[in-house]
Amino acid sequence: MRRTLLGLCLLCISFAPASCGKRSAKEESSADEGPSPADSGIVVLDAKGAEEAGIVTSPAGPAPIDVVLQFPGKVRFDPAHMLEVKPRFAGVVRSLKKDLGQAVARNETVALVESNESLTSYAVASAIAGHVIACPASPGQTVTQETVLYTIADLSTVWIDFAVYPNQLARVHRGEPAVVTAQSGGGPGQSGAVDYIGPSLEEGAGVSVGRVILANAGRWEPGLFVNVAVVVDHVNATVTVPEEAILRTNEGPAVFVGQGTRYTLKLLQVGRSDGHMTEIVSGLEPGSPVVVKNAFTLRSELEKSKYEEN
């Protein structure tokens, strides 16, 4: 029995070198060829295919970049352009000439009050032009010199107040350019500058307040909700690409670079961005022909090739 087992062991040993470490012809061929184009992040597409897919390339190059922070805001009255219209003498309101929302000219009569002393009516005029935003008095009401008949607001300038959270406060400064747009749409934005940045007057608000003062031709109604885009940084970047050219991959941001019929996916380190152009810190040489339109088509083709190979 022992001799039989010994013979079998020697037989196995004698045949072991013939198969141990032996690679198949397919494996050897794959090793000789090296990584496939898909594994190297390369998509091969001829000119006709690129045209049909809408592939467009553009050289990476310098561009100015304005780094913008977006804030929600609201249109408010400018207190420096508001007036409370009051009687000069105590008496009784005989008539009110204006209704809420109506326009008022400077020095225009807005009310008649009968004086308690002379028992004659005198005119009460507005010292500013504007619109009636409050009318708390009524005809027949007894009034004193402290009674507010009207509140008139000159809307030729308005305040745009926006909330600034603590983690953003160090980046927003007085004098920085800003663009205000209505949240409801309604035309292009209006340019201005940050006029004030400081604590909120609302107790427990937890935010600071930024303010832009705008000239108003009737577009900005107090109470309107707006978006405020503040330019917090500006750079003349050496290498930039359009934001739409950048693909977000598991390995990081990347772009396709075209060279003839070969489109190679290159990983990048990105810097500042204004939402349209993005600074490239490393991974891309100036002048590289970057795919700026329909890069997602190449990405889909690359993922398909990898799947088929595996």
What pLDDT is recorded for position 11?
35
What pLDDT is recorded for position 35?
62
Assigned token pair, 134: 């409050």
Q: Beta-carbon neighbour count of residue 214 at 10 Å?
A: 22
d(CA 189, CA 181): 4
Count Cβ atoms within 10 A of the Cβ of residue 168 and give its class: 0-12 exposed, 13-18 middle, 19 or more buried: middle
| Residue from 267, 273, 263 nearest 252 by CA | 267
| Residue from 196, 195, 193, 190 nearest 220 by CA | 190
What pLDDT is recorded for position 26?
43
d(CA 149, CA 131): 14
**C-beta separation of 207 from 161 below 8 A:** no
| Residue 175 φ/ψ region, left for φ over 0, alpha for ψ in the -120 to 50 degree band, beta for the rest | left
d(CA 96, CA 123): 10
What pLDDT is recorded for position 206?
76
Backbone angles phi, psi at 161, to 5 degrees: -95, 135
What pLDDT is recorded for position 302?
86
User: Edge-to-edge strands of the sheet including 82-85?
Assistant: 82-85, 150-153, 130-134, 103-104
Assigned token pair, 101: 């929302």
d(CA 181, CA 271): 27
Q: Which residues pair with 71 in a beta bridge?
A: 228
| Residue 205 φ/ψ region, left for φ over 0, alpha for ψ in the -120 to 50 degree band, beta for the rest | alpha
3-state secondary structure of 18: helix
* pLDDT tens, residue order, the chain (310 aa): 444 444 433 333 343 344 444 444 444 544 455 566 666 789 998 999 899 999 999 999 999 999 899 999 999 999 999 999 999 999 999 999 999 999 999 999 999 999 999 999 999 999 999 999 999 999 999 999 999 999 999 999 999 999 999 999 999 999 999 999 999 887 889 999 999 999 876 666 678 999 999 999 889 999 999 999 999 998 999 999 999 999 999 999 999 999 999 999 999 999 999 888 999 999 999 999 999 999 999 998 888 877 776 6
What pLDDT is recorded for position 213?
97
Task: Report pTM.
Answer: 0.68
What is the residue type of 84? E
Could you give all domains of the chain from N- to C-terminal order, each with its CATH number?
A: 33-64+237-309 (2.40.420.20), 68-78+156-235 (2.40.30.170), 81-153 (2.40.50.100)
What pLDDT is recorded for position 208?
92
d(CA 310, CA 299): 17
